[in-house]
Structure 1
């Protein structure tokens, strides 16, 4: 089924980002990362008011592989 796309604006694309405009059958990641952050770390916008009580971020990860990227070359 064809896609009709109007005006778009892309401000920034990072090195491993995927941009799709229109129809697509399959999109797969080329890389993966693990990010540790505390409560309220990724809030963005204007006039934010974030109130967090006691916050602990556990960064100990016992397993070696969380998400395999085999075959996505």
Structure 2
């Protein structure tokens, strides 16, 4: 393996970022890009896809010994 550090693309702007301890904001290139990404999560611009729970899954969340009526 060589001594060349790995380079990744900033998730926000695409600028190359050296993946090393000196790259303070990695994987982002700057504090600005990091804040833009955080703001997108906070405003729910990014979402993790899910599917509606099955009715049978509801019983997994009941206290022990209790059944669904």
Structure showing greater radius of gyration is 2
More contact order relative to length (CA 8 Å, sep ≥ 6) = 1
Q: Scaled by the length of structure 1, what TM-score is found?
A: 0.21
Structure number with the higher strand fraction is 2
Q: TM-score, normalised by structure 2?
A: 0.22
Q: Considering fraction of residues, name the structure with more helix.
A: 2
